[in-house]
């Protein structure tokens, strides 16, 4: 997926379907091809979990969410994607309690994830990057 392909309709489908959100993250993450972080090999096969890839040389498996803003996310990725979208694109200042009731999650979980996103955005604002892109927020963590 190219950066210009992010439309409101795509965002809507990603926020409602966990598999689509994982596939979208995998497509962005490995847009330039898979490279194993352990051995540097570029050949892979499907991993044990959805959208994961396994190196054919060292057998190291990497999920689509590993080394992204969604790394170690213990709740569904589509809900996490919704939080990223509301914080970065809509720039809504929803409280953790509002997000929690809307997504049926724990308020502390929402607060911690929102804080993680805000820290990532602040890193971009402090760097020399002129414009923050949603894809950059997802991938660069």
Domain ranges of the chain: 8-139
Distances (CA, A) of 14 to 29, 48, 127: 16, 22, 29
pTM as predicted:
0.84
For residue 106, give the 3-state DSSP assignment. coil
| Calpha distance 131→42 (Å, rounded) | 31
Out of 7-16, 20-29, 108-117, 128-137, least confident range: 128-137
Burial of 4 (0-12, 13-18, 19+ CB in 10 A): exposed
pLDDT in tens, 40-79: 999 999 999 999 999 999 999 999 999 999 999 999 999 9
Neighbours of 21 (CB within 10 A): 24
Say which residue, 79 or 121, is predicted with more confidence: 79
């Amino acid at each position: 997926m190219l950066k210009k392909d992010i439309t409101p309709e795509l965002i809507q489908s990603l926020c409602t379907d966990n598999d689509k959100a994982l596939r979208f993250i995998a497509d962005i993450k490995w847009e330039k091809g898979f490279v194993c972080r352990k051995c540097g090999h570029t050949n892979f096969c499907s991993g044990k979990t959805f959208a994961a890839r396994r190196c054919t040389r060292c057998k190291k498996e990497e999920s689509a969410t590993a080394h992204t803003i969604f790394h170690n996310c213990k709740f569904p990725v589509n809900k996490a994607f919704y939080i990223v979208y509301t914080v970065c694109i809509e720039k809504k200042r929803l409280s953790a309690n509002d997000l929690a009731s809307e997504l049926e999650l724990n308020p502390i979980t929402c607060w911690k994830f929102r804080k993680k996103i805000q820290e990532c955005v602040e890193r971009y604002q402090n760097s020399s990057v002129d414009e923050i892109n949603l894809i950059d927020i997802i991938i660069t963590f």
